[in-house]
Amino acid sequence: MDAYNLHCIKPGSKVKLRDIDPSKTLGLQGPEDQERAAADALRDQNIGVMQQLQYRLWAEAKRSLLIVLQGMDCSGKDGTTRRVLGPLNPQGVRVSSFKKPTDEELSHDFLWRVHKVVPARGMIGVFNRSHYEDVLVVRVLNLVPKGEWSLRYDHINDFEKLLTESGTRILKFMLHISKDEQKERLQARLDDPEKGWKFALGDLDTRKRWDEYMDAYEAMLERCSTPEAPWFVIPADKKWYRNWAISSIVRRELELMDPKTPAMDAELKGLKIE
Ligand code: AMP
Ligand code: MG
């Protein structure tokens, strides 16, 4: 199973989210909990490798990795951050969550607030929502005129090119859940006193516009999946599949980056501590 090739959006290809199964599994023989156990074991192996490579990325301090998480409400952005990226050393990770822009943010160009929090050399940056909201919610709700948001795909590609040419690798994950699964998860939030706070009435308006959001996601995937900064559509109805797929792709990327711990100073060689 090669999560990268299964889920990468090839640059320039057409995307029909309706044809991508959100409840995909590994396809192993046997009952689902057996498959889940196998996926969880692979996830843990991936995380173990990610931890070692994060140590070297930090020590090398030359390059960085940016992980972008997008998806509808309840698609698992918080869960992915906790389960897949939580085990990394927090010293080398910075998570940024993008909410409705403040007045100050709105008085600048849309990338201003984003550029300020991209990962520094040695760091792994995680975006929980991102600059892509500016071609998703902004497009669906007409928050700025079409003449303005339609230019943003090119602005985003140029911005990401600048980042990659400055040493940041970028992986972008769309967490793809079905409308039925979202219904279950939204209801569970309402029914659980520990989760109710996550529910916003506005989430229901967003849900009503599901098809418009899917159109906006498709445009984003088609226009902004590039060789340097690819988009992945991750089937996310099954959290264990999502965690396996994302950890596999992040692990692969860190292995390709192959960060190296710096060599020791020549004068330290053979030194004995008294
Ligand atoms: P949550 O992720 O549940 O905390 O919700 C954050 C909210 O902020 C979502 O409804 C997003 O659509 C909204 N949001 C994020 N970025 C933007 C943006 N650039 N313009 C308008 N709304 C945004
Ligand atoms: Mg929310």
Give the dihedral of Cα atoms 145, 150, 151, 155; nearest 10 deg: 120
Closest residue to atom 22 of ligand 1, CA basis: 100
Residue 17 confidence class, pLDDT cut points 50, 70, 90: very high
pLDDT of res. 220? 98
* Inter-helix orientation angle 32-60/239-257, to 10°: 30
Expressed in angstroms and rounded, the spacing between residue 39 Cα and the centre of ligand 1 is 31
Expressed in angstroms and rounded, the spacing between residue 15 Cα and the centre of ligand 2 is 26
Give the dihedral of Cα atoms 72, 78, 83, 86; nearest 10 deg: 140
Residue 1 confidence class, pLDDT cut points 50, 70, 90: confident
pLDDT of res. 249? 98
pLDDT of res. 29? 85
Q: Are 45 and 148 in contact (CB under 8 A)?
A: no
Q: Is the pLDDT of residue 171 over 90?
A: yes
- Written as one letter, the residue type at 147 is G
Q: Is the pLDDT of residue 261 over 90?
A: yes
pLDDT of res. 197? 94
Closest residue to atom 9 of ligand 1, CA basis: 99
Q: Is the pLDDT of residue 28 over 90?
A: no
- Residue ranges lining ligand 1, Cβ < 6 Å: 98-101, 129, 133-134, 137-138, 143
Alpha-carbon span 38 to 33, nearest angstrom: 9
Q: In what order do the strands lie in the sheet with 124-128?
A: 93-97, 124-128, 64-71, 168-176, 231-235
3-18+31-258 fold:
Rossmann fold (3.40.50)
pLDDT of res. 121? 98
Using a CB cutoff of 5 Å, list residues around ligand 2, an ion: 73
Q: Which CB contacts under 8 angstroms, 24+ apart, belong to 259-266?
A: 259/53, 259/56, 259/57, 259/59, 259/60, 259/62, 259/63, 260/56, 260/60, 261/55, 261/56, 261/59, 261/60, 262/59, 262/60
pTM of the model: 0.97
Q: What is the per-residue pLDDT across 35-80, written as a single tens digit (0 to 9) for each?
A: 999 999 999 999 999 999 999 999 999 999 999 999 999 999 999 9
pLDDT of res. 92? 98
Alpha-carbon span 187 to 205, nearest angstrom: 15
Region 233-247 average pLDDT: 98
Q: Is the pLDDT of residue 195 over 90?
A: yes
Element (H, E) at 159: helix 152-165
Q: Is the pLDDT of residue 30 over 90?
A: no
Residue 86 confidence class, pLDDT cut points 50, 70, 90: very high
What residue segments make up the domains of the chain, in order of their start? 3-18+31-258
Closest residue to atom 8 of ligand 1, CA basis: 99
- Specify whether the backbone of 72 is left (phi greater than 0), alpha (psi in -120 to 50) or beta: beta
* DSSP track, 9-29: --TT----GGGS-TT-----S
Ligand sitting nearest the alpha carbon of 102: 1
Expressed in angstroms and rounded, the spacing between residue 201 Cα and the centre of ligand 2 is 9
Burial of 251 (0-12, 13-18, 19+ CB in 10 A): buried
Expressed in angstroms and rounded, the spacing between residue 137 Cα and the centre of ligand 1 is 7
- Written as one letter, the residue type at 168 is T
pLDDT of res. 259? 98
Region 182-186 average pLDDT: 98
Residue with tokens 């995380």: 47
Which sign, positive or negative, has the C-alpha torsion 47, 52, 55, 60? negative
Q: Are 101 and 151 in contact (CB under 8 A)?
A: no
Q: What is the per-residue pLDDT across 103-116, written as a single tens digit (0 to 9) for each?
A: 999 999 999 999 99
Burial of 104 (0-12, 13-18, 19+ CB in 10 A): exposed
